[in-house]
Structure 1
Amino acid sequence: MLSAFTDFIWGFPMIILFVVAGIFLTIRLGFLPFRYFPHIVKMTLGQIGKKTTGSAGGISPFAAFTSALSATAGATNIVGVPVAIAFGGPGALFWMWVVAFIGLSTIFAELVLGITYREKNKEGKWVGGPFYYLSKGLRWDKLGWFYAFGLMLEVVPSVMVQSNSVSVQLENEYNISLLAVGVLLAIVTAFIVFGGIDRIGKISSRLLPIFVLTYVGLTLTIICINIERLPGVLSLIISDAFTPTSAVGVFAGATVVQTMRWGLARGLYTSEAGMGTSSIAYASADTDQPVRQSFWGMIAVIIDTLVICSLTGLTVLITDVWKEVGVKKAASMVSYAMKTTLPDWLSSLSISVFLVFFVLATVGVIIFYGESQAELLFGRKMRYFMRFVYLAAIVVGAIGGLKFVWELLDLLLFFIVVPNIIGIVCLSGVVKKAKDEYIKEFVK
């Protein structure tokens, strides 16, 4: 029943909602991501290392960016892409690209709103996100409450997905107990989350760039070694995006709707464009310029989906492991792909280390998202109660079934994406005004 329902809602209903909303925002913002791309890069990547000033009570803009990127550059990049290909075929990667391009304007809008309507908590730190702009901006208190409650629950299967990804990899490669992996992950995560967003920001800003660049280097190596097959793989991705994928090897085939469903859902989860969750992290930034800080959100989508996820998908497809590795072992496809070129021990160790770090960075941020919603709705005691629920979910997820956990995640994603998209579309005038004022003042 769960499978049937998630397949339905992530078919045409969510495809239409997300694509229409994304196109609407892209047009209303005057094709901002494309017309001003050089300026966006200059004000983000071009400013790395420079000291910034802003209002007190927040973390640095770059730390906010890496914290939010940590939530997206996680297991979805290494595991979620192969899972999408395993269930939707090669064409799923194309629909992930579509989500990314449309999502550039979507994530910009929700970040601007998150910073615009943020406020300081009792500790003097900035807090914001969809709850605030739905309640204060749109003045729909019930919709804000519904979103916050949905996100509080969605974090449970989200951390389960992350821990399951690591435990399956370590069991396959090193025969380590699933339960042991879950317990160890929960202990390390507890150390991270009890330090709050400040500790999360410091850890991610130092380590995330190193791991991302290393992973990009390894996948590029595999692709370059098999470069003669790249044109055929790109052709396969495009053709399978619009035609049913034939069964081949252990792959059972997929309809066009299945391909779109898995590509859309995984693309949305990995970029977070439309979910609203990134605005919670960015709202904590020490900045007084919402538009400039929101440019980092676009860069995050480009790095996460158009770079890292694309390299993962191409690595899996160019080595043909998607035809040879069964659905039950989809989480280990990248490891199998690397073994076709690199020594087995190096491939196993590399993917295991990447997964462990990415997952730890990710669960730290998404637990922060969930517990902050719990505190908003039910007070500080509920924050700590949910923190322990999330830590327990890490252990349970480590021994859970892959497809069931992903589908439970998709179900709860639906309940937070819908109110968030309604909110950012209705408040798009606020975003347009902020963007127009910024362009007039800062863009020559």
Structure 2
Amino acid sequence: MLQTIERINSAVNGFVWGIPAMVCIIGVGLYLSFRTRFIQFRKFGYTFKVTLGKLFHKKGASDGAVTPFQAVCTALASTVGTGNIAGVAGAIALGGPGAVFWMWCSALLGMCTKFSEVTLAVHFREKNEKGDWVGGPMYYIKNGLGPRFKWLACIYAILGVLTVFGTGNATQVNTITTAIDTAVLSYVSASDGFIQTMNLIIGIVIAVLVAMILLGGIKRIGQVTERLVPFMALFYIILAMGVISLNIRHVPAVLASIFEGAFTPSAVTGGAVGTFFLSMKNGVSRGIFSNEAGLGTGSIAHAAADTSVAVDQGYFGIFEVFMDTILICTMTALVILCSGVPIGFGAAAGAELTISGFTSTYGSWVSIFTAVALCCFALSTIIGWGLYGTRCIEFLFGSKVNKPFMVVYSAVAILGATVDLGLLWGVADTFNGLMSIPNLIALFLLGGTMVKLVRTHTV
């Protein structure tokens, strides 16, 4: 039975992340870029003016909303996660150094895609029974495309609910326990029984912590992510910059391997990765898995922002993808490639490859700090996706189901900490890709609306 499910999932995953998906994701990104006259480049300076400038604005948000900066931190909480550490490592191992180049390309187009998602989410949002702003793909499909497309909005919401338990919770908790177990075992010898008990305790602690944050509502989520995200991003960047600085002499050769490997991967990987498409596929898919541009999930958090100008909030989408992929994912790639750790090209790899890049440079003591970074990244993802799942199930059944859903979602953390997930990682990846289909259809059909919103916006 398990083998049958694995075969079915493998076939579906191959299609979802295959050539058709690559064409659709890149195609919609190009389409929106042309229609907005490549706003991600034209307004790049203005993007940082309206986003980083919010760091110094302490004005509170109105009832049922969060500040624009809290909104972007909540969105970044889900995007800046294990994909930045494990996802990049997997892309390099399976697609060669050239996968980083295609990750950059997908991010440059993804900046416009996410700009459009966020802008539409704020423009077509509505207030729920509690007075909170709610929005996202299901709302801009329903309110932007009209009632006859509500079925498409429902499909997105259903896929969103199914995805959050795997992508947003269980796999993230599994990453936390793996990181802590690795750090503990590098210093002391522990029995399997001790590790299992420790993992159970970790799962319970995470479940309680997540429940307390989510049940506190959108304002508490915003307050927590506002503090957690800048800390963990800065902490990781400092660690990564240290590795790059200590191996600075390798940077020119690494950059050369990235550009050469993008088009002739076999020349860089010794034939282990032999096709151009394999390099591109891994770079694009892992990039999207990290920054979520095209999935539409991040726009759910942005829809709660206390702002009256949709396009202004849209610039936070550009900033978000830049920070996540162009900055943090690139740092991870350079940590792996500059440190000189052996890479088993053609074979699956995860966070352990990134951790090796740090430990080979700093020594084994840094495993504690990388474990802390992984825990922060994974916890922030759990919180962000908890909000996404809540909004998706609320769209389907109303806000009365919010609290029961949050309790169940939090409890899944215990399962993720104590059970061998195996197949769930692959299924989560498949559902992640399936979510992009209704969202990309909506973005394409709402291209004209985006043009009008951009043209009427004055800077």
1:37 counterpart = 2:57: no
1:93 counterpart = 2:112: no
Post-superposition Cα deviations, 1:314-351, rounded to whole Å, max 9, x if no partner, equal: 10111132526996762222221111121322x11111
**Counterpart of 1:169?**
179
Shift of 1:179: 4.0
Shift of 1:186: 2.1
Post-superposition Cα deviations, 1:239-262, rounded to whole Å, max 9, x if no partner, equal: 22223447969x954643332222
Distance 2:27 2:292 in 1: 17
**Counterpart of 1:126?**
133
Post-superposition Cα deviations, 1:180-200, rounded to whole Å, max 9, x if no partner, equal: 433332232222222222111
Distance 1:350 1:419 in 2: 39
SS, match of residue 113 in structure 1: helix
Post-superposition Cα deviations, 1:35-75, rounded to whole Å, max 9, x if no partner, equal: 12112221221342124587653111111111111111111
Distance 1:82 1:391 in 2: 28
Structure 1: unaligned runs, 5 residues or longer: none
Q: 1:160 aligns with which of 159, 163, 170?
A: 170
**Counterpart of 2:64?**
57
The question of whether the paired residues in 1 share the 8 Å contact of 2:254 and 2:334 is answered with: yes
> Over aligned residue pairs, what C-alpha RMSD do you find?
2.3
Q: 1:210 aligns with which of 202, 224, 231?
A: 231
The 5-angstrom pairing of residues 259-274 of structure 1 reads 259-274=279-294
The question of whether the paired residues in 2 share the 8 Å contact of 1:272 and 1:278 is answered with: yes
The question of whether the paired residues in 1 share the 8 Å contact of 2:94 and 2:346 is answered with: no
Shift of 1:400: 5.4
1:435 counterpart = 2:445: no
The 5-angstrom pairing of residues 2-151 of structure 1 reads 2-52=9-59, 56-139=63-146, 140-151=149-160
How many residue pairs are counted as aligned between the two chains? Answer: 438
The residue identity in structure 2 corresponding to 1:174 is: V
Q: 2:387 aligns with which of 364, 368, 371?
A: 368
Distance 2:111 2:416 in 1: 31
Distance 2:208 2:429 in 1: 27
**Counterpart of 1:417?**
436
The question of whether the paired residues in 2 share the 8 Å contact of 1:200 and 1:361 is answered with: no
Shift of 1:434: 1.1
The residue identity in structure 1 corresponding to 2:108 is: F
Distance 1:404 1:246 in 2: 33
Moved more, 240-249 or 111-120: 240-249
Q: TM-score with structure 2 length normalisation?
A: 0.89
The question of whether the paired residues in 1 share the 8 Å contact of 2:228 and 2:380 is answered with: no
**Counterpart of 1:231?**
252
The question of whether the paired residues in 1 share the 8 Å contact of 2:141 and 2:150 is answered with: yes
Moved more, 205-214 or 318-327: 318-327
Distance 1:253 1:388 in 2: 44
SS, match of residue 285 in structure 1: coil
Structure 2: unaligned runs, 5 residues or longer: 1-6, 186-194
The residue identity in structure 2 corresponding to 1:204 is: T
Distance 1:246 1:87 in 2: 14
Distance 1:414 1:389 in 2: 24
SS, match of residue 281 in structure 1: helix
The residue identity in structure 2 corresponding to 1:46 is: G
Distance 2:296 2:15 in 1: 22
